[in-house]
Amino acid sequence: MSFVGKDTSTFSEVFCIVCPLGCRIGVEQGSDGLILRGGCSRGQEYARQEVTSPCRVVTTTVRIRGGEIPRLPVRTSAPFPRERIFELMEFLRTFEVAAPVRRGEVLVEDLLGTGVHLVATRTIRRLEKEGEGSEGA
Ligand code: SF4
* CATH architecture assigned to 59-120: Roll (3.10)
Helix (H, G, I), strand (E, B) or coil at 70: coil
Q: Which residues pair with 25 in a beta bridge?
A: 14
34-80: per-residue pLDDT in tens? 999 999 999 999 999 999 989 999 999 999 999 999 999 999 999 99
Task: Report, as an integer, the average pLDDT of 28-33.
Answer: 89
73-122: per-residue pLDDT in tens? 999 999 999 999 999 999 999 999 999 999 999 999 999 999 999 999 99
Specify the domain boundaries for CATH 3.10.530.10 within the chain. Answer: 59-120
CA 10/CA 30 separation, integer angstroms: 8
What is the phi/psi pair of residue 101, to 5°? -135, 140
Comparing CA positions, the residue from 109, 56, 50, 102 lying closest to residue 78 is 56
- Nearest residue (by CA) to ligand 1, atom 6, is 43
Decide: pTM greater than 0.95: no
Q: DSSP secondary structure string, 73-90?
A: EEEESS-EEGGGHHHHHH
18 C-beta closer than 6 A to ligand 1: yes
69: CA distance to ligand 1 center in Å?
39
